[in-house]
Amino acid sequence: MNNENLDKIFERVQKFQGESLTGKISQIESDYHGKRKDDISDLNLNYFINSNLLASAFEIKRLAGQINVIVHAVGILNALPYILEKEESINSLSLGAGNTGRGFDLETNLRVAEFKFISWQGGSEAIRQNQLFKDFYNLAEHETQKRKELYVINKEIPIKFLNGNRALPSVMSKNKTLWDDFQNKYGNQYEVVYDYFSPRKGVVNIIDLADFNEMYKSQFVSTKENRENEPMQNNTKGKPSSANEIREYAIKKYILPAKAAGFSTVKILAKDVHSALGYKNSYPNVCQSLDGDKFLELANVVLVSRKGPLKSNTVEWVFEI
């Protein structure tokens, strides 16, 4: 497979995906419903599902495995001619995953800097927010006379998070080293992100790379609207599903009662929502609606965990209220 022409590999996966992967998966789930062993081979043949397709998907996954490292490294290197001053010289670069033992992504004789090439979607992006806070914290706490700079894409979204009320224990819950360091320095002095950020907003300069080159903005345009406006697949065997109906039901049935009861988290099962709304074979639509950032915004929650396949009746979400 490694020696096979890449065009052929991508063509095979694209042929399976079609115009909409969500639509294709929904159709397959519907078509396979109730089928027996003897029917599967013909169905797989009709959908071009075979070992070659699986091998192609694995190969693309392998090739894409290091893409974040490439984006990080090339993104920084492309930015250097725009941000460096004439007499400025580089002391160290950290272009790989993490800082590989170095303090920051970039250190020169004039500045220390971190870079975040994140395609912000504008919703409750907990993992990305956690990474951003870690970089801001490390820069803010670093003792140096040099300038401290955090380079981002779509600056208004990171700034909105840093000025927000997300609880600090939640932000650092997945990073024990960071949390222990924070606790040793500040104990319970700060409760939410804004509490820590506000007195330090002048310490670290947050800079939008698009201010230097529009290429950064054009390559990191949010796909949120395109994804959430993708048509739901109407289901001919039961009541047509609606993204708005699904989100509204989840909020009224689960989120609001949990908040009223004082719970910190709430669990939602795809099968329960699907059943309560009287759908038939519309699990992909339920999952798409509750996976989206629009639901997180409307419900004002943060996704803590998601278990189960991409689109299935077994999907289970846990949200922090």
Q: What is the pLDDT of residues 131-141, one digit of tens each?
A: 999 999 999 99
Taking a C-beta distance cutoff of 8 angstroms, is the pair 40, 245 a contact? no
**pLDDT band at residue 158 under the 50/70/90 scheme:** very high
Give residue 270's pLDDT: 94
What's the mean pLDDT when you consider all of the chain?
85
Mean pLDDT in residue range 38-65: 88
Structure tokens at 53: 């397709």
Say which range, 24-28, 80-84, 132-136, 235-239, has the weakest mean pLDDT: 235-239
Structure tokens at 268: 């939602």
Phi first, then psi, for residue 207 (nearest 5°) are -125, 135
Residue with tokens 């079609």: 18
Helix, strand, coil shares of the chain, percent, nearest 5, are: 50, 10, 35
**pLDDT band at residue 260 under the 50/70/90 scheme:** confident
Give residue 305's pLDDT: 86
Nearest to 315 by CA among 280, 269, 257, 254: 269
Give residue 241's pLDDT: 58
Residue 237 has pLDDT above 80, yes or no: no
Residue 214 has a CB neighbour count (10 Å cut-off) of 10
Residue 1 has pLDDT above 60, yes or no: no
Percent of the chain past pLDDT 70, that is, above it, reads 87
Residues 312 and 109: their CA atoms lie apart, in Å, by 53
Residue with tokens 């406006």: 229
Most confident residue range from 21-35, 72-86, 95-109: 72-86
278-297 pLDDT, tens per residue?
A: 888 888 889 989 988 888 88
Grouping H, G, I as helix, E, B as strand and the rest as coil, residue 265 is strand
